[in-house]
Amino acid sequence: MAEKTKEAARAEVDEFRASIGELREEVGKVIVGNREVVDGVLTCMLAGSHALLEGVPGLGKTMLVRTMAEALELQFSRIQFTPDMMPADIIGTTVIDENAGGQRSFSFRKGPIFANIVLADEINRATPKTQSALLEAMQEHRVTVSRQSYTLEEPFFVLATQNPLESEGTYPLPEAQLDRFFFKLHVPFPSRDELNSILERTTGTDAIEVRPVLNKERIIAMQRLVREVPVAKHVQDYAVRLLQATHPAEGGSLDEVKRFVKFGGSPRGAQALLLAAKIRALFEGRFAASVDDVRACALPALRHRVLLNFEGEAEGVKTDEVLQAILKHLPESK
């Protein structure tokens, strides 16, 4: 692809920022605060990937996803995960149809996974068998039923919510599925001012209307622009070294990593770091990713890909603490 002129690149970046600003404004009509979480969800969408939102009940995780869907002209579906849900409830099933002449034939009834935005609500309340039904859809953007493959329409992304794993009646997500999520975002408890704003918006008589501001074609164009953002070799190498630093078997890894980490991040983690850095650069009006962009995206991109060992779990070590120690000691260049 021919290099863009500075003027063309600047125009595209400005248009990108304007679109994101409009979307933030619409989401902000309903969602109070949580700018980092909102930007994290937007980052996953623009990367063509998926987001996992974790927090205790009542923090507005589901409301955020629903509001995002309303602000986008995309097909939306919601799957409420329960322990008795089966894979066919997600991807669909083959049924026997009978026509007026009495002839029977098999036909496929599509499940709720066939949408552009899929809200997987309380995903960790379903059994591992049902959770795994999402794996092919999330990675390949297709589903296979009875040896027949069905392609999901683009853009496609899953926004999943889960309660902390200590909550009763939940199942830990398999590592293979966790790795499919681009970001894992922690939804914090609101501050005093934010709580007051939430009460004012939700206990009065005014109905808040969210208008759609981005359509399918515009989102796909923005996703293409993300891929075109250049990354200097030293920035890419920093992302690689950051991922390697999460592995306890790597030479020179920190004592905290050797002591508390069982498995480091996968290559998907490095891909997420680099794509997220490109998107952050565009958010800030730059057409080039930097080391600071990679650092800023490290926690949500890697916290679910780094698995602690028994000692780390027993001592209550948080994955974020290990990652912050790595970021503090990892030099920009080597």
Residue 186: strand pairing partners: 54
Q: Are 278 and 182 in contact (CB under 8 A)?
A: no
**pLDDT of amino acid 232:** 92
In DSSP notation, 75-108 reads -EEEEE--TT--THHHHEEEEEEE-TTS-EEEEE
**pLDDT of amino acid 1:** 39
Q: Is the predicted pLDDT of residue 2 greater than 60, yes or no?
A: no
The residue to which tokens 């990652």 are assigned: 323
Domain 229-334: homologous superfamily in CATH:
Magnesium chelatase subunit I, C-Terminal domain (1.10.8.80)
**257-270 confidence digits (pLDDT tens):** 888 888 888 899 99
Q: What is the mean pLDDT of residues 242-263?
A: 86
Q: Are 303 and 320 in contact (CB under 8 A)?
A: yes
**19-45 confidence digits (pLDDT tens):** 998 888 888 877 777 788 889 999 999
CA triple 325-181-298, angle to 5 deg: 25
**pLDDT of amino acid 169:** 65
Q: What is the mean pLDDT of residues 167-172?
A: 69
- How many residues does the structure list for the chain? 334
Q: Are 80 and 121 in contact (CB under 8 A)?
A: yes
Q: What is the mean pLDDT of residues 142-155?
A: 84
Percentage of the chain lying above the pLDDT 90 cut: 27
pLDDT band at residue 59 under the 50/70/90 scheme: confident
Torsions phi, psi for 295 (to 5 deg): -60, -45
Q: Are 79 and 112 in contact (CB under 8 A)?
A: yes
Look over the chain and give the mean of its residue pLDDT values, rounded to a whole number.
85
In DSSP notation, 119-138 reads EEETGGGS-HHHHGGGHHHH
* Cis peptide upstream of residue 188 (ω within 30 degrees of 0): no
**307-332 confidence digits (pLDDT tens):** 888 998 888 889 999 999 999 998 88
**204-215 confidence digits (pLDDT tens):** 677 777 888 888
Provide the CATH number for the domain formed by 1-84+115-228 in this structure: 3.40.50.300
How many Cα atoms within 13 Å fall on the side-chain side of residue 97?
9
Q: Are 143 and 137 in contact (CB under 8 A)?
A: yes
Measured between alpha carbons, how far apart are the two ends of the chain, in Å? 31
Contacts of 11 (CB under 8 A, 6+ apart): none
Q: What is the mean pLDDT of residues 123-143?
A: 83
How many Cα atoms within 13 Å fall on the side-chain side of residue 54?
18
In the chain, domain spans: 1-84+115-228, 229-334
**pLDDT of amino acid 236:** 94
**pLDDT of amino acid 210:** 80
Q: What is the mean pLDDT of residues 267-292?
A: 93
C-alpha to C-alpha distance for 203 and 23, rounded to whole angstroms: 24
Q: Is the predicted pLDDT of residue 165 greater than 70, yes or no?
A: no
- Over the range 103-131, which residues count as b (16 or more CB within 10 Å of their CB) and which as e? eeeeeeeebbbbbbbbbbbbbbbbeeebb
C-alpha to C-alpha distance for 321 and 135, rounded to whole angstroms: 29
**74-120 confidence digits (pLDDT tens):** 888 888 888 888 888 888 887 777 777 777 777 778 889 998 999 88
pLDDT band at residue 250 under the 50/70/90 scheme: confident
Q: Are strands 148-151 and 142-145 parallel, antiparallel or unpaired?
A: antiparallel
Q: Is the predicted pLDDT of residue 229 greater than 60, yes or no?
A: yes
C-alpha to C-alpha distance for 168 and 43, rounded to whole angstroms: 31
